[in-house]
Chain A
Amino acid sequence: MSDGSMTIDAAIVPAAAARRPLPAHGSRRAYAAYALVTPAAALMLVMLLGPLAGVIALSFTDYQLGAPHFSWIGLANYQDLFADKVFWTALRNTLTYVVVVVPGAVIAGLAIALLIQSGTSLRSLYRTIYFLPVMATLIAMAVVWEFMLHPQFGLVNGLLRGAGLPAFAWLQDRNTALYALCAIGIWQAVGFNMVLFLAGLVSIPKQLYEAAEIDGASSGWARFRLVTWPMLGPVTTFVVVISGIRSFQVFDTVHVLTKGGPSKSTEVLIHTMYTEGFEFFRSGYAAAITVVFLVFVLALTLIKSRLADRGVHYT
Chain B
Amino acid sequence: MAQIELSAIRKSFDGTDVLKGIDFRIEDGEFISLVGPSGCGKSTLLRIIAGLEPQNSGEVRIDGHSVDAVRPSARNLAMVFQSYALYPHLSTFDNIAVPLRMRRLSAIERLPLLGPLLPGRRAKERAIRADITAIAEQLDIAPLLRRKPGQLSGGQRQRVAVGRAMVREPRAFLFDEPLSNLDAKLRVHMRAELAELHRRLEATFVYVTHDQAEAMTMSSRIAVMMGGELIQAGTPAQIYNDPGDIRVAEFIGSPKINILPGRIRKDGGIDVLGTALRLACNATAGDCRVGVRPERIELGAGPFSGSVVHLENLGAEAFVHLAIEGAGLRLIARLADVRHLPAMGSTLAFGFASDAVRVFDPAGKRIELRAEQAERIREPAHV
Find out whether the CB atom of A208 lies under 8 angstroms from the CB atom of B73: no
Contact of B79 among A211, A219, A227 (CB under 8 A): A211
Find out whether the CB atom of B73 lies under 8 angstroms from the CB atom of A227: no
Q: How far is the CB of A98 from chain B (nearest CB, A)?
A: 25
A222-B150 contact in complex given A205-B83, A210-B85, A216-B102, C-beta closer than 8 Å: no
Chain A positions within 8 Å of B85 at CB level: 205, 207-208, 210-211
Q: Name A180-216 residues within 8 Å CB distance of B.
A: 205, 207-208, 210-216
Find out whether the CB atom of A214 lies under 8 angstroms from the CB atom of B50: yes
Chain B positions within 8 Å of A211 at CB level: 79, 81, 85-87
Complex: how many Å from CA A214 to CA B75? 8
Contact of B87 among A208, A214, A218, A315 (CB under 8 A): A208
Chain B positions within 8 Å of A205 at CB level: 83, 85
Find out whether the CB atom of A215 lies under 8 angstroms from the CB atom of B83: no
The verdict on A53 contacting chain B, using a C-beta distance below 8 Å, is no
A215-B102 contact in complex given A210-B81, A314-B148, C-beta closer than 8 Å: yes
Find out whether the CB atom of B89 lies under 8 angstroms from the CB atom of A233: yes
Chain A positions within 8 Å of B320 at CB level: none
Q: How far is the CB of A213 from chain B (nearest CB, A)?
A: 5
Chain B positions within 8 Å of A315 at CB level: 88, 150
The verdict on B99 contacting chain A, using a C-beta distance below 8 Å, is yes
A215-B164 contact in complex given A207-B81, A222-B107, A314-B148, C-beta closer than 8 Å: yes
Complex: how many Å from CA A230 to CA B91? 13
Find out whether the CB atom of A217 lies under 8 angstroms from the CB atom of B73: yes
Complex: how many Å from CA A121 to CA B85? 28
The verdict on A231 contacting chain B, using a C-beta distance below 8 Å, is yes
A213-B103 contact in complex given A205-B85, A208-B87, A314-B88, C-beta closer than 8 Å: no
Chain B positions within 8 Å of A226 at CB level: 87, 98
Complex: how many Å from CA A207 to CA B78? 14
Q: Provide 19 A-B residue pairs closer than 8 Å at the C-beta atoms, listed in order of the A residue.
A: A208-B87, A210-B50, A210-B81, A211-B79, A211-B85, A213-B72, A214-B50, A214-B73, A214-B99, A216-B103, A218-B71, A218-B74, A219-B107, A222-B107, A222-B110, A226-B98, A314-B149, A314-B150, A315-B150
With A214-B79, A215-B73 known, 12 other A-B pairs at CB within 8 A are A207-B85, A210-B81, A213-B71, A213-B72, A214-B72, A214-B73, A216-B73, A218-B73, A218-B74, A219-B107, A225-B110, A314-B89
